Amino acid sequence: MRNTLLEYFTNFISINTQSDPNSDTYPSTEAQELFAEVLAGKLSVMGMKNVDVDRYSYVTAELPANTDEELPVIGLIAHMDTSPDYSGAGIRPNIIADYNGSDIVLKDNVIISPAEFPILKKYVGKTVITADGTTLLGGDDKAGMSEIFTAMDYLIKHPQIKHGKIKVAFTPDEEIGAGVDHFDTKKFGCDFAYTIDGGDEGEISYECFNAARVKINIRGKSVHPGSGKDSMINAALLAMELNALLPAETPRSTEGYEGFYHLTDIKADVSRASLEYIIRDHDRQKFEARKDKMRAAAEKINEKYGSCTELEIYDEYYNMAEVIEKNRFVLERAVKAAEEAGVKPDIRPIRGGTDGARLSFMGLPCPNLFTGGHNFHGPYEFVVLESMEKAVETILNIVKA
């Protein structure tokens, strides 16, 4: 199983499939369309049935039941895109067998240190995989993809393991909040499902953020600085002033159930400025209050400088706990499966979101399971091969009759 898992993972991450938040196509990048066809080919060669790539590049397939026992149809879902936050081109895996607990020194002065990331101490003696320091690794979510592929390959090669019908799906554009914009849950045909898109070993999540994206445009007034008294309006300074009106609750200063405002992009000069934020909170009322504070900040700038600021807020997804609480058997099945794999379940809220959040509200209860990855979306990312193996075992235990 280990060699199969590692082969899938290194193959998948070698293909750049970053999504693009500024694209007006679906999927947002041609690379994802091409990758979807690659995945479909691999699923067919493996022996999966009803392999399909639809017009939106959703890849689906099924493993038929091998028992007459009436069992639920279970779905397994991962996303094929990687984050646009950091380069995903030319990923070169750095495989550290029997990790000794020291600093991991990579290119571009990137050091993954136990002093900064104490969780590394847990993996002394394990196989740690990083990129080379110039890219992200792509474990989010190609670790999850590899684990689903490996689990299906194992079941096909071990028909003595009885199971009901299993459906798998690989989605594009999850990283830009559009992963299931066109997903047909009825066509997928599952009773419940799991996204394999979590973090370190044992993490099982059925709570996530409520999420919104904010776009702000500020129009300044460019006047020669020598004669700009009482007439110049510097859009770059207004952008800074607007940001200062928000509570100092950022990803750096928050944890657990705490929400935040996160400035993801800013472009500014004297005449114009554009800012993009994401707003996150587990509590729905606090989430709505955060959006109100963002609107109030923009209104205050307009009151002070004239109607120079335009703001748009787009809700992305909501906390799936609302749905999973009514279908706790789905969570309990995952907890039991992890325990049977020798993994201590760690039920915690996701400080992010998954396709499963939106799918849950589309009628498909869908908690999130661990992949064995850490520090996603940047050069400090790493996965632990032994944890990936435990993820495969957990999947197998979930789908066994």
Q: Shortest CA distance to 368 belongs to which of 214, 143, 158? A: 143
132 catalytic, yes or no? Answer: no
Q: How many CB atoms sit inside 10 A of residue 134's CB?
A: 16
Sign of CA dihedral 57, 157, 67, 395: negative
| Cα(81)–Cα(161) distance, integer angstroms | 31
| Cα(335)–Cα(250) distance, integer angstroms | 32
Note whether 346 and 52 are within 8 A (CB): no
Q: Phi then psi for 11, rounded to 5 degrees?
A: -70, -45
DSSP SS3 for 337: helix
Note whether 350 and 198 are within 8 A (CB): yes
Q: Nearest 5 degrees, angle CA 335-CA 336-CA 341?
A: 100
Interstrand relation of 260-268 and 272-281 (parallel, antiparallel or unpaired): antiparallel
| Cα(50)–Cα(73) distance, integer angstroms | 15
The distance from CA 342 to its chain's CA centroid, rounded to whole angstroms, is: 25
Beta bridge partners of 174: none
Q: Shortest CA distance to 57 belongs to which of 39, 84, 83? A: 39
Find tokens 């199983």 and name the residue.
Answer: 1
13 sits in which H/E element: helix 2-13
Q: Which residue in 81, 175, 201, 381 is the catalytic one?
A: 81
Interstrand relation of 210-219 and 309-317 (parallel, antiparallel or unpaired): antiparallel
174 catalytic, yes or no? Answer: yes
Q: Which residue in 174, 281, 316, 381 is the catalytic one?
A: 174
Give the HSE-up count for residue 147: Cα atoms under 13 Å, Cβ half-sphere. Answer: 35
Q: Tell me the two tokens of residue 266.
A: 């800013």
Interstrand relation of 373-374 and 382-384 (parallel, antiparallel or unpaired): antiparallel
Active-site amino acid positions? 81, 174
